[in-house]
Amino acid sequence: MSHFWINEKKVFYEDEGSGKPIVLLNGIMMSTRSWAPFVDTFKANNRLIRVDFFDQGQTDKLLGATYTHQIQVDLLKSLFDHLKLEQASIVGISYGGEIAIQFAIQHKSKVDRLVLFNTAAYTNPWLKDIGRAWMAAGKTRDGEAYYNTAIPVIYSPLFYETNQDWMQNRRKVLVPVFSNALFLDQMERLTQSSESYDVRNTISTIEAETLIVSAEEDYLTPVDNQSYVAKAIKNSHWVKIPGAGHASMYEKPLLFSTLCLGFINAKDTKYTI
């Protein structure tokens, strides 16, 4: 458990293991703790760095603030500086993938390899309105309503149905959190910070070798969106996970490890076939 400060705001991170460094970036509703199931596997051969963005987990809240993704991109840059990280591979999912893309555009030399799970190149009007539904559900302070609005859509119908006990437990854990005004306000600020996200003009400047992972039942950043990212990034490699939804790392955890570690640790990226 470590931290550093940005303008009197505490930023929480975890830095474990050794080897090629991997920075793992959270989805919007996640925190460093969400990755607990993966830590052992990731730190077996790598240095694993996790961080809570502003308004996530143990990093400070930005009460009353309005901000864009840039504040998180800068937080990430501060983390690299604080750790004196010359270069690292970055894995991001969804919100975290979007921050990763922007970091890779702005700080090219800092990024070794890039792994993007369930990540889009911009917040389209459709997703913007879905975000607004989440924010409206948050305003009610009704944890059940927020859960039903924001959670089913991030899982595939099949996973949701075949893991009903697990889902029931998620509900039990999350409804109190989703009834908490402080948390809901964090979620609102994070959601709002994504409204203006659009890297379509700059994404093609990314130079890092990039792995794009799409889940076929992702109904927030559908395959079609990923196809755009895969085409826009020149050194990109694209795989699809059948039968998984937006929270793909929970639905297919071994594939998450396989793809991240396999891609980042592969000795060569270019092959003369």
Q: Among residues 33, 126, 182, 196, which is the contact residue for a second copy, using CB under 8 A?
A: 126
Shortest distance, CB of residue 7 to a second copy, whole angstroms? 34
Is residue 124 a contact residue for a second copy (CB under 8 A)?
A: yes
Residues numbered 249-268 forming contacts with a second copy, rule: CB under 8 A: 250, 252-255, 257-263, 265-268
How far apart are alpha carbons 208 and 213 in whole angstroms? 15
Q: Does 237 bind a second copy (CB under 8 A)?
A: yes
DSSP per-residue string spanning 23-44: EEE--TT--GGGGHHHHHHHHT
Quick one: which of 4, 85, 152, 175 contacts a second copy (CB under 8 A)?
152
Quick check: 141 binds a second copy (CB under 8 A)? no
Q: Which range binds a second copy by CB under 8 A, 3-11, 99-107, 162-170, 193-201?
A: 162-170
Is the separation of the CB atoms in 199 and 122 below 8 Å? yes
Residue whose token pair is 């948050």? 138
Contact status: 192 vs a second copy (CB under 8 A): no
Of the listed pieces 8-16, 47-55, 82-90, 240-248, which binds a second copy according to CB under 8 A? Answer: 240-248
Count of residues touching a second copy (by CB under 8 A): 73
DSSP 1: -
**Closest distance to a second copy from the beta carbon of 151 (Å):** 7
Asked if 177 is part of the footprint of a second copy (rule: CB under 8 A), the reply reads no
- Choice between 9 and 171, CB closer to a second copy: 171
Within residues 194-213, the interface with a second copy by CB under 8 A covers: 209, 211
Which CB sits closer to a second copy, 84 or 270? 270
R_g of the chain, CA atoms, integer Å: 18
**In the range 217-236, which residues lie near a second copy by CB under 8 A?**
217, 219, 222, 224-225, 227, 230
Please tell me whether residue 93 binds a second copy under the rule CB under 8 A.
Answer: no
